[in-house]
């Protein structure tokens, strides 16, 4: 028996060590979220949905605003609508000693809406069962909780998905949290991608009821929490006309609601939607690399002006 146990323990140790070494290879190529849970606590944050994750480039902002090292801690429509889980994750990601910092809070109708049949109250949120609610330490490298429970790919892909041009496309989370997406683009491909995204969002729209008072309350709580550590800017990123139409049908009074909130909390609202036709999108609502760069620059300039 002792011999058996000794052999099995040795064999398991070798396996666990091998597995651990492989998991340690996970990085920004692994998926769209993993590295955001592996960096240290931050002093300035960009928060919001995938639009912000892809569209707001911290490097551009940091270059234009001195002494700023802003980190992109935005995820996706599904994972980070405003609610208790996201607020709690932000609280864990933010260095508690932070003061006089800058926070960009991206808002859109999806992030403060309620899905049909979703039983929201101030204690339960659907996303709390996803990695956002379950990863208790978002500052650990490697983050085994995430990799073992929420990484969706096969582990072999941690080793093989390397290099910036996987399948000729770039999907990479930078060390500042920005999710760089460069797809194989041609007019035909982009048009077809936009068409299919708009179609799918029309269906998603039907899954949503409209504005949620609970989510709105948590957006306010999030802003109030961030106010304790610096200046907060509400940002609405642009989308194309078709996507805007869908969003308007979901929440026709979105802009006026956010403006009211902006006044109430004394928080500037940067609405980039009116200039939406100046930009290009990978799929109708995510800014492409160049447009993201441009938008990030505009945001930085506006903040600089505001600060002065």
Partner 1 sequence: MLFNSLDFAVFLPIVFVLYWFVTQRNLKIQNILILVSSYVFYGWWDYRFLALITFSTVIDYLIGLQLAKSEDQSKRKLLLWTSILVNIGFLGFFKYYNFFVDNFVEAFSFFGNEIQPNTLYIILPVGISFYTFQTLSYTIDIYKRKLKPTSDFVAFGAFVSFFPQLVAGPIERATNLLPQFYKKREFKYNNAVDGLRQILWGLFKKIVIADNCAYFVNTIFDNYTDYGASTLFLGAVFFAFQIYGDFSGYSDIAIGTSRLFGFNLKQNFAFPYFSRDIAEFWRRWHISLSTWFRDYVYIPLGGSRGSIWNQIRNVFIIFLVSGFWHGANWTFIVWGGLNALYFLPLLIIKRNRVHTNVVAEFKVFPNLKECFGMLFTFIITVIAWVFFRADSVSHATQYLSRIVDVSFFNIPEIRPTFLFVLIFIFILIEWAGRRQLYAIQTLWFRFPRIIRLFIYYLIAMTIFLYGGKEQEFIYFQF
Task: Please name the residues in contact with 212: beta carbons below 8 A apart, sequence gap of 6 or more.
Answer: 112, 113, 114, 120
**Nearest Cα residue to 288 out of 161, 167, 170:** 170
Which residues are at the interface with partner 1 (CB under 8 A)? 1, 3-4, 7-8, 11, 14-15, 18-19, 22, 148, 152, 154-156, 159
Q: Are 113 and 211 in contact (CB under 8 A)?
A: yes
Least distance to partner 1 from the beta carbon of 192, Å? 15
The smaller minimum CB distance to partner 1, of residues 24 and 159, is found at 159
Cα-Cα-Cα-Cα torsion 281, 274, 237, 183, nearest 10 degrees, comes to 10
Report the residue number, 14 or 24, with the smaller CB distance to partner 1: 14
Looking at beta carbons only, is 102 or 158 nearer to partner 1?
158
Nearer to partner 1, 88 or 145 (CB): 145
CB of 78 to partner 1, least distance (A): 17
HSE at residue 245, side-chain half, CA atoms within 13 A, is: 7
Residue 162 CB, nearest approach to partner 1 (Å):
15
Instruction: Enumerate helices (H) and strands (E) in the chain, giving the number of each.
Output: 12, 9
For residue 109, give Cα distances in angstroms to 116, 211, 215, 218: 15, 7, 11, 14
Q: Which is nearer to partner 1, 1 or 187 (CB)?
A: 1
CB of 156 to partner 1, least distance (A): 4
Q: Are strands 179-182 and 170-173 parallel, antiparallel or unpaired?
A: antiparallel
Q: How far is the CB of 16 from partner 1 (least distance, A)?
A: 10
236/200 Cα distance (integer angstroms): 21
């Amino acid at each position: 028996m002792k011999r058996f146990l000794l052999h099995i323990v040795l064999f398991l140790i070798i396996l666990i060590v091998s597995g651990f070494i492989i998991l340690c290879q996970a990085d920004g190529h692994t998926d769209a979220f993993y590295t955001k849970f592996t960096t240290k606590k931050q002093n300035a944050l960009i928060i919001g949905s995938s639009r912000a994750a892809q569209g707001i480039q911290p490097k551009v902002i940091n270059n234009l605003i001195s002494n700023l090292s802003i980190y992109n801690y935005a995820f996706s429509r599904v994972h980070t609508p405003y609610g208790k889980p996201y607020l709690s994750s932000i609280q864990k990601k933010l260095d508690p000693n932070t003061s006089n910092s800058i926070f960009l809070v991206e808002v859109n109708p999806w992030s403060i809406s309620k899905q049909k049949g979703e039983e929201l109250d101030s204690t339960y949120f659907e996303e709390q069962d996803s990695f956002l609610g379950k990863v208790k330490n978002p500052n650990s490298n490697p983050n085994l909780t995430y990799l073992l429970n929420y990484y969706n790919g096969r582990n072999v892909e941690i080793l093989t998905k390397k290099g910036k041009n996987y399948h000729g496309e770039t999907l990479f989370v930078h060390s500042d949290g920005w999710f760089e997406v460069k797809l194989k683009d041609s007019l035909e491909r982009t048009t077809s991608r936009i068409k299919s995204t708009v179609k799918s969002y029309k269906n998603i729209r039907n899954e949503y009821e409209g504005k949620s008072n609970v989510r709105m309350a948590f957006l306010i709580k999030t802003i109030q929490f961030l106010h304790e550590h610096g200046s907060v800017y509400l940002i609405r990123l642009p989308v194309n006309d078709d996507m805007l139409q869908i969003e308007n049908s979901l929440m026709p009074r979105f802009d006026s609601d956010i403006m009211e909130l902006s006044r109430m909390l004394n928080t500037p609202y940067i609405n980039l939607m009116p200039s939406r036709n100046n930009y290009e999108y990978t799929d109708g609502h995510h800014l492409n690399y160049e447009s993201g760069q441009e938008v990030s620059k505009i945001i930085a300039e506006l903040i600089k002006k505001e600060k002065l």
